[in-house]
């Protein structure tokens, strides 16, 4: 085998390798794009259903608001334990935003935590972890 045959075989192997690698990369790019397209489509469909449910819920709530209020006494008078109204409002808003609706959640009381903070406890656990 002379040098020209070796060069021809090497060049054809190199060209074949590049072709296969780039073909597989293009195929993978297409698969990832297709997966993203399908997931986006499913998420928009789910969010549209959620919006429709919330629109129906808003309509129901507006109907409830237009009805005359029924005299109800609160079962338990809320206590704030010396917290300002702003703090109570912020904590309530955070809880309601975390759960997404007011149907699942009912805040019974707000109390100050113990003397140590969560950051302090995390630091102690991190520094006393066995090796």
What is the model's pLDDT at position 6?
A: 92
Domain identity same for 104 and 56: no
Task: Judge if 67 and 77 occupy the same domain.
Answer: no
Q: State whether 31 and 51 are in the same domain.
A: yes
Rg (CA), the chain: 32
Q: Is 42 in the same domain as 84? A: no
Mean pLDDT of 31-36: 95
**Is 97 a member of any domain?**
yes
My answer on whether 64 and 77 are in the same domain is: no
Asked if the structure places residue 122 within a domain, the reply is no
Question: Is pLDDT above 50 for 65?
Answer: yes
Residues 3 and 65 in one domain: yes
Task: Let me know whether 88 and 28 are in one domain.
Answer: no
* Alpha-carbon distances of 91 from 74, 76, 105, 109, 121, rounded to whole Å: 21, 19, 13, 11, 22
Query: By CB neighbour count within 10 A (0-12 exposed, 13-18 middle, 19+ buried), where does 12 fall?
Result: exposed
Query: Is pLDDT larger for residue 8 or for residue 90?
Result: 8
Evaluate if pTM is beyond 0.75: no
* pLDDT at position 76: 47
How far apart CA 68 and CA 43 sit, in angstroms, is 39
| Cα three-residue angle 79-85-90, rounded to 5 degrees | 105
Over 80: is that where the pLDDT of 29 sits? yes
Per-residue pLDDT band for 30 (boundaries 50, 70, 90) equals very high
What range defines the domain where residue 42 resides?
A: 1-71
Q: Are residues 66 and 8 part of one domain?
A: yes
Same domain, 61 and 78: no
Between these two residues, 27 and 52, which has the higher pLDDT value? 27
What pLDDT score was predicted for residue 68? 53
CA atoms of 76 and 109, how far apart (whole Å) = 10
Shared-domain flag, residues 37 and 81? no
Express each pLDDT in 75-126 by its tens digit: 545 555 667 778 888 888 888 888 877 677 777 877 776 677 778 888 888 8
Average pLDDT over all residues of the chain: 80
pLDDT of residue 131: 66
């Amino acid at each position: 085998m002379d040098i020209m045959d070796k060069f021809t075989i090497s060049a054809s192997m190199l060209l074949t390798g590049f072709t296969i690698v780039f073909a597989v990369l293009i195929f993978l790019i297409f698969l990832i794009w297709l997966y993203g397209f399908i997931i986006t489509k499913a998420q928009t469909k789910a969010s549209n259903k959620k919006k429709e449910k919330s629109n129906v819920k808003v309509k129901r709530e507006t109907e409830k608001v237009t009805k005359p209020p029924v005299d109800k006494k609160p079962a338990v008078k809320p206590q704030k334990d010396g917290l300002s109204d702003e703090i109570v409002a912020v904590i309530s808003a955070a809880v309601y935003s975390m759960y997404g609706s007011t149907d699942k959640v009912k805040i019974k009381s707000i109390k100050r935590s113990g003397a140590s903070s969560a950051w302090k406890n995390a630091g102690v656990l991190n520094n006393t972890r066995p090796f």
